[in-house]
Amino acid sequence: MNLRNKLALSVAKLSKITVKKLHLGNATSLPGKLALKISPNILSCFTKQVKKEIITVTGTNGKTSTCGLLASILRADERKIIHNSKGANMLTGIASALIDNSSMNFKINADNFLFEMDEAYFAKAVDFFSPDLILVTNLFRDQLDRYGELDTTAKKIQSAIDKSKHPTVILNADDPGVSSLQNNNGEKIFYGFENINFDFDFDRTKETSVAEISYCTCGEKYAYEKVFYAHQGHYFCKSCGNKRPAPQICADAQISRDKSTLTIKYQNQEFVFHANIPGLYNAYNVLGAIAAALILKIPPQTIQEGLNNFKTEFGRSEKLTINDKNILIQLIKNPVGATEVIKNIDTAKEENTLLIIINDNYADGRDVSWLWDAKFELLKDFEGKIIISGIRASDMAVRLKYAGVDMTKAEIVPDIKNAFKKSIDITQKNAMLNIIPTYTALLEIDKIKHTL
């Protein structure tokens, strides 16, 4: 091993110790950033050591949750995995995860690498390793200042697929942008829903129109037989006849506020799985993780064990209890994801509280105009108190006012720590505090919650 790599590893490990000692954060990216600066090819020293498959998950929404679910399933299958579990999904985060699990002699003991991949950095990562499985969740408009339009994001993911050596690509059949991705180097597997039913407030959650317009490759706008949410559903082109591919792994879903039940058909067999996480968006994450597990030939009973053992990553439907107050934290970062989170909020209980925190730091996306595309109108009948915080709290307050929310129930508390404490104080015991933050606000909440 050359001196540059040894120096990079030593500096990276020392930086993590320093960050932890000084309570500056989780050190999910800094060690990798320093290591890559010193030795740009250090990733290659680690990725050759994996015993089985390298698995990557990419897409706009649901990457962290899908990876977390799949990680739990892999562990239930008694596999040793290395996983960038905190959602640091650029090259620096992947390098940090590998360094954290390596010895000073660069030795790694892992059956699988499971990497959540940022869409924009995926193709660059494939320069250092070739994934065996590539799972793509969905494609929505997200941080246009970073990613551009959907076709730009799709091209970046397609480039990563094209550069990979014989991957199995697992695609969401219900998303037109995802299902159109090609895999000329290996197998292509589709997963999707046939039917979705809700146990709560069905009329409010039912989608009657496509929230994001999708176009066929021929230029015609897709029509839909079923719309599940946004542009995901059963689509077809009236002009050229192109349509949603029939998924090899298909499911019916029963969605409750705090769980979902999936009945899955695969290879002429039917399996029923239960997952204790809320919302249709999470049901898609569960289906994606199960699809990958089935492709890896993991037995259904082991998959269910993994789902039972799953603990949500911070901010992804994360459940806490502080001072006998129930807290649910759900990250929002684009119109579609925010709308799906809002749909799952119980607006009828006066004892519940809502804390909305909007930042516009680089990792959040500088452009917050997406707030006007999210359906905050679904909160107009929220009976409890609403606290608004973050750098763009005033913008969020204006959005709520135009959404028809009773602003006499709302209050701006700019400082996030004060807003968090006040939200807990005014929430009644055994009631629910819903917190919906953008990404950097979520990181602040993660630090604050350990001090309460």
Q: What is the pLDDT of residue 212?
A: 64
pLDDT score, position 337: 87
pLDDT in tens, 75-95: 999 999 999 987 788 889 999
Predicted local distance difference test score (pLDDT) of residue 363:
84
Is residue 174 part of the annotated active site? The answer reads no
Give the integer Cα–Cα distance in Å for 202 and 205. Answer: 5
Q: Which residues of the chain have pLDDT under 50?
A: 144-148, 202-208
The alpha carbon dihedral of 279, 146, 416, 386 has a sign of negative
Query: Rounded distance, CA 137 to CA 226, Å?
Result: 19
Q: What is the DSSP letter of 215?
A: B
- What is the per-residue pLDDT for 210? 59
Query: Percentage of the chain surpassing pLDDT 90?
Result: 69
**Are the beta carbons of 19 and 34 closer than 8 angstroms?**
no
Q: Mapping DSSP to helix (H, G, I), strand (E, B) and coil, where does residue 221 land? A: strand
Question: Each residue of 99-111: pLDDT tens digit?
Answer: 999 998 889 999 9
Residue 148: per-residue pLDDT: 47
How many Å is the Cα radius of gyration of the chain? 22
Joined tokens for residue 181: 């991705």
Dihedrals φ, ψ of 327, to 5°? -125, 130
CA distance 180 to 123: 18
Alpha carbon distance 91, 87 (integer Å): 12
Q: Is 323 exposed, middle or buried (0-12, 13-18, 19+ CB in 10 A)?
A: exposed
Count Cβ neighbours within 10 Å for each residue of 41-62 and write b for 16 or more, e otherwise. Answer: ebbebbbeebeebbbbbbbbbb
User: Which tokens is 427 given?
Assistant: 């929430």
The DSSP-derived string for 77-91 is TT--EEE-TT---SH
Say which of 199, 367, 415, 425 is annotated catalytic: 367
